[in-house]
A and B are shown apart, each in its own frame.
Chain A
């Protein structure tokens, strides 16, 4: 118990300082980005704008204040729990994040679980058949998948399963034209299949390859040789000596993939027109919507930190050695 409290405490400080650094870096990046938010906004209007009107819009976006002043006013608002208002949507950033995160969470969770199951299962299978034909074929496939960009893979999957075979919907989180209250959970899951599958393809290859290598090492060890000599079967060896040992790298990768998952969801959501944080962040970036972009960046940084923290806690549960070293 003491250990958990200490971990929370040290992590709390680490996370806070990290968030501060993330916010400063992203703010600087947005400030020096070549996109002029006011010009972008005016272009999207499609009408001519008088200098008086332009001055009012600049005033609204606050671009005339010095950057440092803007940053500190944003930070002081943040400390009071106010994430600010999105300049593009003219709504509180917290509302937008809340609304979009529910969808993204469902997508990422499905993809995450899917990639864990496929990746770990496949890794075990490959490790047990190392250097034989099924292993060689699967290894090639894993190499290909981990080097193909998500959005391209997404487009191919979209074209094959939604346009060609028409098995799955073309995108969105629910059927077109159906009102929110009438959408069933099954329809939502049905719409999740393609995007989450695409997203899971991105990270499972990594997990599978690492698991394969680790399992191969374990199977080459002397204690496995001894186990074999005692007459233990293939599956018994995997269960008794393999799983615990190969779990750690898989777990590390799985929790570290939170960050990749966030990045990948930007692509997957755009390809499948899926309404989530990913598409909101690209809209915010393209329009230089500073409050929204900072809000989402901070939120995703927090999300990734929490993922890593969970991984650290789970290490102790799976491998008592680590726990003891910690104490």
Chain B
């Protein structure tokens, strides 16, 4: 009896100990993760903002004078305040005086001036050709003089991270120091870059403490996801349909668009300087261009060609604050047919292709060979346009050949920028028929030019956006498809990303062109769910 009691007591206490131990162990298991591994397709060439690092995104390691929020509206970052002179030429920035670089040195106005002057001299990807000078007046004031009013200057500033003048040398791009939310730790070329959280970041230390960015092709990245070795992986519309346990796919809206240019000039036997013929007698008719625009079922192309990882595109900048929402059109095959019939295009000989005055509505659409997405989008669009009696022959050619043929034939192109001046280069008369691929269709319109110039020289962001929108559609004309229709926009590609369940990648702003780097621009907003 006694022994039984003792044994029971012993047994019970052992059980209690065990359960206590189990309780003691459980907090360890639910410990909050604070590191992520991100697989992206392309490795940055440098981490030096003056040579292009972070251009179009946020530089992470460095901080910028102003930055975008997730709606792409500007907010102050390093800047405490800024003013612009009435002639639009002199910007005066006052910067915060509580910011230190991760090596402990203070960030001053002279670092800002040094950064801008260095970026201008680098002849790299940062366009500061219009900047005359940047001068630090005292520790917190920097005065920047421009040669002409430039409304996109703020956009440029939002992507140029400030580098420390005292620690800048030839090796800076491989071993940067900055004042951003993350600190650079190590870069092993073609393998990985390691960042850790900057605990002294002036906006509060980020939740994710350790970040490893690895570089692998999309196929390899999918394999890494299946093996559970990465938390986030950049993927493609083709691969994104594979379901992987423990991961979900996020389709991030991008302005990475595809559409074709249609020559607006008639073929009068003229040629450009390079000898390339100019003009096309079919597409120079606005009813042809608009009929194509209205006949295309964009949603269907996004669903079929891009596996649903795409959205209909109606302009070069859908979803951006400077986009005019009125550019959207509904697919309307009957309306397209009516446009053509009203203008006198009929299928008299019954071969399924309409003609007018003996001219058949047949055009070529060329795309850079090897680009399977452009090819598929062009083929699908050509198939749809067949229904209204217009024949489009799709052909893949080299970039050299595109340059020879783009002034006289349709070209499947892709643009998409986080900076609004792209619209200016795409549609200004001065840029028509240049070799830079922006305006091969030869679009020239005084009204549009007026809005574009006003937008480029506007003194406020609102004033600029107002004019960008009017350039697209002001109620009577514009670059939109219901306007002059020099472009038929078709789809915006989504940026397909695998994300491990339980990880929040924040509210991603609309991505520009680019293979994965835009993904990490809001790294400080990422967090693991508890």
Contacts and interface: CB of A to CB of B under 8 A. Distances in A.
A46 B194 contact: no
B436 A159 contact: no
Nearest to A155: B219
B123 A60 contact: yes
Contact of B173 (A90, A158, A271): A90
User: Most chain-A Cβ atoms within 10 A of its Cβ — which of B52, B188, B417?
Assistant: B188
B234 to A, nearest CB: 13
Interface in A264-282: 270-273, 275-276, 279-280
Nearest to B43: A283
A275 B191 contact: yes
B422 A48 contact: yes
B360 interface: no
B416 A162 contact: no
Interface stretch (B223-231, B343-351, B462-470, B498-506): B223-231
A89 to B, nearest CB: 5
User: Size class of B's contact patch?
Assistant: 35 or more
B125 A173 contact: no
A47 B55 contact: yes
Contacts of B508: none
A311 B210 CA distance: 49
User: Most chain-A Cβ atoms within 10 A of its Cβ — which of B174, B185, B220?
Assistant: B220
Interface stretch (A50-58, A124-132, A228-236, A315-323): A50-58
A174 B188 CA distance: 10
A162 B219 CA distance: 13
A90 B46 contact: yes
Given A90-B173, A270-B217, A273-B217, A177 B37 contact: yes
Contacts of A325: none
Contact of A100 (B189, B399, B422): B189
Interface in B121-174: 123-125, 127, 129-130, 173-174
User: Most chain-B Cβ atoms within 10 A of its Cβ — which of A45, A49, A169?
Assistant: A45
Contact of B419 (A47, A52, A170, A275): A47
Interface string A75-99: 0000000000000111100001001
Nearest to A162: B227
Contacts of A45: 52, 55-56, 125, 513
A36 B399 contact: yes
Contacts of A170: 220, 223-224, 227, 229
A286 to B, nearest CB: 10
A177 B212 CA distance: 6
A46 B417 contact: yes
Contacts of A279: 190
Interface string A171-199: 11110110110000000000000000000
Nearest to B515: A44
A310 interface: no
Contacts of B129: 50, 52-53, 56
B220 A171 contact: yes
B319 interface: no
A59 interface: yes
Given A46-B418, A89-B45, A166-B227, A176 B192 contact: yes
Contacts of B123: 56-57, 59-60
A61 B482 CA distance: 40
B514 A46 contact: yes
B189 A275 contact: yes
B35 interface: yes
Contacts of A155: 219
B400 interface: yes
Nearest to A274: B190
B191 A172 contact: yes
Contacts, number: 143
A47 B160 CA distance: 13
Given A47-B55, A47-B125, A54 B226 contact: no
Contacts of B191: 172-174, 273, 275
Contact of A47 (B51, B56, B188): B56
Contacts of B399: 34-36, 39
A172 B214 contact: yes
User: Most chain-B Cβ atoms within 10 A of its Cβ — which of A46, A52, A166, A169?
Assistant: A46
A43 B515 CA distance: 11
Nearest to B438: A48
A179 B185 contact: yes
User: Most chain-A Cβ atoms within 10 A of its Cβ — which of B192, B217, B230, B399?
Assistant: B192
A225 interface: no
A5 to B, nearest CB: 40
B220 A34 contact: no
Contacts of B224: 170-171
A36 B436 contact: no
A180 B188 contact: yes
A164 to B, nearest CB: 9
B443 interface: no
A34 B399 CA distance: 6
A116 to B, nearest CB: 28
Contact of B214 (A53, A89, A99, A273): A273
Contacts of A180: 186, 188
A207 to B, nearest CB: 29
User: Most chain-B Cβ atoms within 10 A of its Cβ — which of A57, A171, A271?
Assistant: A171
A279 to B, nearest CB: 6
Nearest to B42: A44
A163 interface: yes
B46 A34 contact: no
A39 B437 contact: yes
Contacts of B56: 45-47
Interface in A15-53: 34-36, 39, 41, 43-53
A153 B79 CA distance: 54
A176 B425 contact: no
A279 B42 CA distance: 12
Given A47-B512, A89-B45, A90-B51, A177 B416 contact: no
Contacts of B400: 34, 36
B471 interface: no
B421 A48 contact: yes
B305 interface: no
Interface of A: 34-36, 39, 41, 43-54, 56-57, 59-60, 88-91, 96, 99-100, 155, 158-159, 162-163, 166, 169-174, 176-177, 179-180, 270-273, 275-276, 279-280
27 contacts: A34-B401, A35-B399, A41-B125, A45-B56, A45-B125, A46-B417, A47-B55, A47-B56, A47-B417, A47-B418, A48-B425, A52-B130, A57-B123, A60-B123, A89-B45, A90-B45, A100-B189, A163-B227, A170-B229, A171-B216, A171-B224, A172-B192, A176-B212, A177-B192, A180-B188, A271-B217, A272-B220
Given A36-B403, A177-B35, A271-B220, 6 more contacts: A47-B512, A48-B419, A52-B130, A170-B227, A172-B192, A176-B37
Interface of B: 35, 37, 42, 45-46, 51-52, 55-56, 123-125, 127, 129-130, 173-174, 185-186, 188-192, 194, 210, 212, 214-217, 219-220, 223-224, 226-227, 229-230, 398-401, 403, 416-419, 421-422, 424-426, 431, 434, 436-438, 512-514, 518
- Give the 8 A-B residue pairs with the shortest CB-CB distance, closest first: A34-B398, A275-B190, A48-B422, A46-B513, A273-B216, A52-B129, A53-B127, A177-B212
